[in-house]
Amino acid sequence: MAAVLDKPRTVAPGRRAAKRRFKRPTVGAVVVYVAAAALAVLWLLPLLWALSTSLKPETEASLGQDIHWIPQDWSLEGYRTLFERGDHLTWMINSTIVSTIVTVLTLVLCVLAAYGFSRFDFPAKNVIFGAIIAGLMVPGQALIIPLFDLVNDLRLSGTYWGLALPQVVAPVMVFILKRFFDAIPRDYEEAAKLDGAGHLRVLVSVIVPLSGPIMAAVGIFTFIGSWNNFLWPLLVATDPSMMTLPVGLGVVSGGYGLFYAQNMAAAVLGALPLLVVFLIFQKQIVNGVAGVGLK
């Protein structure tokens, strides 16, 4: 009995390992690779089409022309007219300012709050934490009417602060950071406290350095979310000089009419900043999304 059971156990691992080493591509694997690659290329086509069009002169880009994926006549005309108009750069700067304010404030406020919830006991702690968790279920879009009124009353309408501040409230980030802080062993802090460091000092010099990846994920997601926010800036920034990139492109550039090369140049430049951020931080972003599902 024992011998019978033993035999396959000792033989199989070796055979399997050998199989793995000399694996030749099967028909199934080839089909999978081809199908996956074809779908991926198909998925990229709209972006490639925008890029290709932006590099054509207006005459070649306009409707009714034959469709060429490679421009017959390479031209930066679209980009040049776009920069002569100037507003694209303004929107890009506005978006950068607003998203930076949102990201920095979110990180500072959420890290402080998460640390407070993770390491201290204080009056009404559970009530406050419960209220913040309940906020996870409140859809921001359903609050636009009273929020707009509030921002008007605070005389922040049409300012960077009016654009940024209402986007800062992110209960989910407090939740994520608190869970991460909870898992950090307290021994590290004890050592720092013995050296005479205060609570804030401990947070900045012990906890924050240990939380690099999670803070990167929170920061990147906040930045992307804020950069791509459309509805709120649409309401608050009615003056073209205060618009963020998505609103400017959607509301003003939509009126460029039939200048397709210019239109697509705007699209390419509009997509570029976050695509670069994505390519640089691909690992953090992928892990961040994965974290949502695995928790």
Which residues within the stretch 234-293 sit at the binding site for another protein (CB under 8 A)?
235, 245-247, 249-250, 253-254, 260, 263-264, 266-267, 270-271, 274-275, 277-279, 282, 285-286, 289-290, 292-293
- Does 89 bind another protein (CB under 8 A)? Our answer is no
From 43, 44, 61, select the one nearest 52 (Cα to Cα): 61
Give me the least distance between CB of 256 and another protein, in Å please: 9
Q: Which of residues 6-35 bind another protein (CB under 8 A)?
A: 28-29, 32-33, 35
Give me the least distance between CB of 264 and another protein, in Å please: 7
d(CA 224, CA 31): 35
* Angstrom distances, CA of residue 217 to CA of 104, 203, 230, 290: 13, 18, 22, 11
Give me the least distance between CB of 63 and another protein, in Å please: 3
Nearer to another protein, 89 or 290 (CB): 290
Nearer to another protein, 73 or 182 (CB): 182
- Does 115 bind another protein (CB under 8 A)? Our answer is yes
- Does 144 bind another protein (CB under 8 A)? Our answer is yes
For residue 166, count other CB atoms closer than 10 A to its CB: 20
Nearer to another protein, 174 or 237 (CB): 174
Which tokens hold the place of 257? 């009419």
Q: Which of residues 204-223 bind another protein (CB under 8 A)?
A: none
Nearer to another protein, 128 or 192 (CB): 128
SS3 122: coil
Which span sits near another protein by CB under 8 A: 75-83, 96-104, 160-168, 211-219? 160-168
d(CA 184, CA 139): 31
SS3 20: helix
Which tokens hold the place of 138? 């409140």
- Does 165 bind another protein (CB under 8 A)? Our answer is yes
* Angstrom distances, CA of residue 240 to CA of 165, 192, 243, 246, 292: 20, 51, 5, 12, 36
